[in-house]
Amino acid sequence: MNYNKKSIEDIDVAGKRVLCRCDFNVPTKEGRITSDKRIVAAMPTIEYLVNKGAKVILCSHMGKPKGEWKPELSLKVVADRLSQLLGKEVIMASDVAGEDSKAKAAALKNGDVMLLENTRYIKGETKNDPELSKALADLADIFVNDAFGTAHRAHSSTAGVADYLPAVSGYLVQKEVSIMGKALANPERPFVAILGGAKVSDKLNVINNLLEKVDTLIIGGGMAYTFLAAQGYSVGKSLVDNEKLDYCKEMMAKAEAKGVKLLLPVDTAIAASFPSPIDAEIPVEYVDCTAIPADQMGLDIGPKACAEFAAAAKAAKTVVWNGPMGVFENPTLAKGTIAVAQALADSDAVTIVGGGDSAAACEQLGFANAITHISTGGGASLEFLEGLELPGIACLEDK
């Protein structure tokens, strides 16, 4: 996949109607936005377009209305918040690409901003329906994709519309593509990848793809126990993906053949059962991963593993991290995840954190500002690490 894509700065937007796909899938409670982080993240792109005299038409999905008009998933709350942030009224359309949108788009003046209703109110959106793509394209002269979180989806508003309009990236997508793209295509070495999370099956292709690129691959989290079991160790009641034992053996053989250092935890935090509720205080002890008792389960990496993983991260020039090292929602079992986040924050390397739980951990711990890049897309960043082509990026014009 070519990561060298045109951005909003490579195209003249003055006086043009610009359809900009954003990620306004924000959490709400009782009709109020509980975190406006995604709206704030879109502001640099929106402000650039406004300042350059574009007629800005924003669109996004929210939640999963599945083609039904659900008032609780209306983007009206987003329009209100955008109006506050921009210091000017954001015109709200009552439909997605219907008569109201057409009339309001036609009446826009330079520097005006309007927002379409939830794109997933229309059944054709998630099916990349050409009719919907064409109707959206008819509203504008240029398409800008600034929603990396949905770039792995071939939907009408993320990819289909680019069949009919010149398409470029906004600042958020540009940053994702340039930083993550360079890390995977031409990393500064040593290149270390740290993978965590519960199941091997969630990261099959990621592990396989990264072994082609990295100098060291570190595996923690629940999936480490499947690798340990594949090495012949007894892992007690720990989470094991029995169907993936052969796959783990193949990956360890591949690492050896390629000269990639594969690091598994040397010790682990164990307890008699999974915490319930998840944040309940539970007694844990630390044992070597070769000595997990039959009636215990591993729930986090231990202090020796923390030190070894941190040392590898600090010696690297590029580090990519995706997935927690243990049940990080539990304060007792978050130590491994905290240690990795701290190591990345302390590192002089280019540090990239894939979306989801790892990103949440860095933000909660206050390390976000010390990380080079925290991805805005969980599923999209995983597919990026798999080496897959992302439809919402592939559709953009090459430089």
According to DSSP, the residues that pair with 113 across neighbouring strands are: 56, 90
Check 16, 38, 55, 120 and give the catalytic one. 38
CA–CA distance, 258 with 260 (Å, rounded to integer): 5
Report the residue count for the chain.
Answer: 399
SS (H, E, C) 3-70: CCECEHHHCCCCCCEEEEECCCCCCEECCEECCCHHHHHHHHHHHHHHHCCCEEEEECCCCCCCCCCC
Question: Of all helices (H) and strands (E), which one includes residue 299?
Answer: strand 297-301
User: Which residue in this structure is represented by tokens 């690492």?
Assistant: 255
Instruction: List the one residue out of 327, 334, 312 whose CA is nearest residue 194.
Output: 312
H helices, E strands: number in the chain: 13, 17
Check 76, 127, 182, 199 and give the catalytic one. 199
The CA angle 167-118-49, to the nearest 5 degrees, is 40
Q: Which two tokens stand for residue 72?
A: 């609780």
CA–CA distance, 218 with 394 (Å, rounded to integer): 30
Check 326, 356, 377, 378 and give the catalytic one. 356
Which own/partner pairs from 247-252 qualify as long-range (CB within 8 Å, at least 24 positions apart)?
247/200, 247/204, 248/200, 251/207, 251/208, 251/211, 251/227, 252/227
User: Known catalytic residue: 378?
Assistant: no
User: Known catalytic residue: 38?
Assistant: yes
Tell me the catalytic residues: 38, 199, 356, 379
